[in-house]
Amino acid sequence: MRLALPEPAMAKRTRPKPTNPLPLARSTLQRQLERLRDEARTCQRCDLWRHSTQTVFGEGSVDTDLMLVGEQPGDAEDIQGHPFVGPAGRILLEALTQAGLADTHYYLTNAVKHFKWEPRGKRRIHVRPTTSELLACSHWLEGEIAAVRPRVLVALGATAVRALLGPGPRVTKDRGQWLPSAFGPPVLVTVHPSSVLRIADREERHAALTALVADLRQVVRRLESLDRRATS
């Protein structure tokens, strides 16, 4: 199932005037993003391209205040070529909907753009990217942030936290916190939706989803507060 990323015409929120001292036209930023996406198709900055189907770049328009960053594409994403189209994506969509963000524009991407996996029987099992792979792929994430210019970033899981905030912060101790980032926008730390999926017990899984929704509700409040400040 593909995430229904909202189209610009469906925007419910009006974006305040950009605060960038050198504002660029939205069409210029969209072209910048598309150029980056094209370049990433043939990326060989690390070895992960060798064993995966394709580069899975971020999706969404530049007309958004919110960027969500996950870890890397999974099996379904690798085959379909879109981020968060597998089971974890369904959890994320459910959490975004429950948090009240279903109608908000967002840009959805991963810290690493190729699927890293190892075989287990006939299945391809996810393997966490190394620091050097993360660093190699940061070129694309930085480019996405520069083009989209979100006002709020959400780090979904440990790899995204490392990509956006460096080696210090941890999901375990910083979950639910807004941390300053070198990229400019503050980063909300939360879990990757796949962690919800891995919980076997039904009640515990429900509680984990509720906790993820509570984290994402902070995004709603932060965006509303930024809007108030921009219009006052």
Tell whether residue 111 is a contact of ligand SF4 (CB under 6 A): no
Site string (122-141) toward ligand SF4, x via CB under 6 A: -----------x--xx--x-
CA distance 20 to 74: 35
Tell whether residue 42 is a contact of ligand SF4 (CB under 6 A): no
Strand partners, 190: 156
Tell whether residue 37 is a contact of ligand SF4 (CB under 6 A): no
CA distance 77 to 72: 9
Sole window of 80-88, 109-117, 162-170, 188-196 interacting with ligand SF4 (rule: CB under 6 A): 109-117
Among 5, 6, 49, 161, binds ligand SF4 (CB under 6 A): 49
CA distance 58 to 56: 7
Long-range contacts of 7-11 (CB under 8 A, 24+ apart): 7/61, 8/61, 8/63, 8/105, 10/103, 11/63, 11/105
Site string (154-193) toward ligand SF4, x via CB under 6 A: ----------------------------------------
CA distance 158 to 167: 10
Positions that interact with ligand SF4 (CB under 6 A): 40, 43-46, 48-49, 55, 112-114, 133, 136-137, 140
